[in-house]
Amino acid sequence: MKYRIIKEGIFIKRPNRFIAHVLVDGKEEIAHVKNTGRCKEILIEGARVILEVSENPNRKTAYSLIAAYKGDMLINIDSQVPNQVVYEAIKQNKIPPISNVKKLKKEVSYGNSRFDIYYEKENSKGFIEVKGVTLEVNGLAMFPDAPTERGRRHLEEMADAVANGYEGYVIFLIQMKGVQAFSPNFSMDPDFSEELRKSASLGVKVLAYDSIVKENEIAISEPIKIIGI
């Protein structure tokens, strides 16, 4: 997935979940933050950030904050791209367990939930829930970075779908390169983490992939070892 126009800036502060103050060409600007998560270990004062330049002259903010450098590691924090990245990867047969699909559709309802992707293969059909991962600590990627009751309910619904004959996948797209493993974040959200472990025991398949992240692009890369479930 590629961005059309980008620009580099320097992070100043984030007064709320939706906006950040950034320095662009020596001028302080307000940018929309494409992630409502905390990202506290990424968005720190002085960090180099990557901004998507809006092509809509009527938009309130000219920029959207889409990525940031954590040291030498570039982390994409755009929460809108993981679904598209995984969708494209499935179409290109880059996720072997979900390859050669006959039908692929975004945003499909099941029960009280709406899953990110629905697919059909020759002899099976299933749902996929995609979670973008931006939290990394000493080479370990973790999700979530804030409690998510909605995410926990999705796992319950996915397990129900599996019990009713569908295949079910939860794919954690790690929006960076360089991690060694992925784990649910038990200390941040024990309810989600335990539900993920339970869902896996009930037949929901859990996958984690890292990403190749460039300033103007993000694409799926390699499967990552999962621990803790």
pLDDT at 57: 83
Looking at residue 111, its pLDDT comes to: 87
- Which tokens sit at 121? 């293969």
- What end-to-end distance do the CA atoms of the chain give, in Å? 30
φ/ψ of residue 18, rounded to 5: -100, -20
pLDDT of residue 26: 94
Instruction: Kindly report each contact of residues 19-26 with a partner whose C-beta sits within 8 Å and lies 24 or more positions away, as own/partner.
Output: 19/61, 20/49, 20/65, 22/49, 22/51, 22/63, 22/65, 24/51, 24/63
pLDDT: which is higher, 95 or 111: 95
Model confidence band, residue 74 (pLDDT cutoffs 50, 70, 90)? very high
- Percent with pLDDT over 70 in the chain: 100
Q: What is the pLDDT of residue 59?
A: 86
Q: Which residue type is seen at 3? A: Y
Tokens encoding 19: 């906006």
CA atoms within 13 A of residue 170's CA, in its CB half-sphere: 32
Is residue 36 pLDDT above 90, yes or no? no
pLDDT tens for each residue of 104-160: 999 999 988 899 999 999 999 999 999 999 999 999 999 999 999 999 999 999 999
At 181-222, the pLDDT tens digits run 999 999 999 999 999 999 999 999 999 999 999 999 999 999
pLDDT tens by residue, 4-35: 999 999 999 999 999 999 999 999 999 999 99
Token pair listed for 108: 């499909």
Distance between CA 16 and CA 106 in Å, rounded? 30
Take residue 124 and report the two structure tokens written for it.
């099976």
Instruction: Return the percentage of the chain with pLDDT > 90, whole number.
Output: 93
Using a CB cutoff of 8 Å and minimum separation of 24, what contacts does 29-33 make?
29/61, 29/62, 29/63, 30/61, 31/61, 31/62, 31/63, 31/64, 31/65, 32/61, 32/63, 32/64, 32/65, 33/64, 33/65, 33/77
Q: What is the 8-class DSSP label of residue 2? A: B
Which domains are delineated in the chain?
6-75 (2.40.50.580), 82-226 (3.40.1350.60)
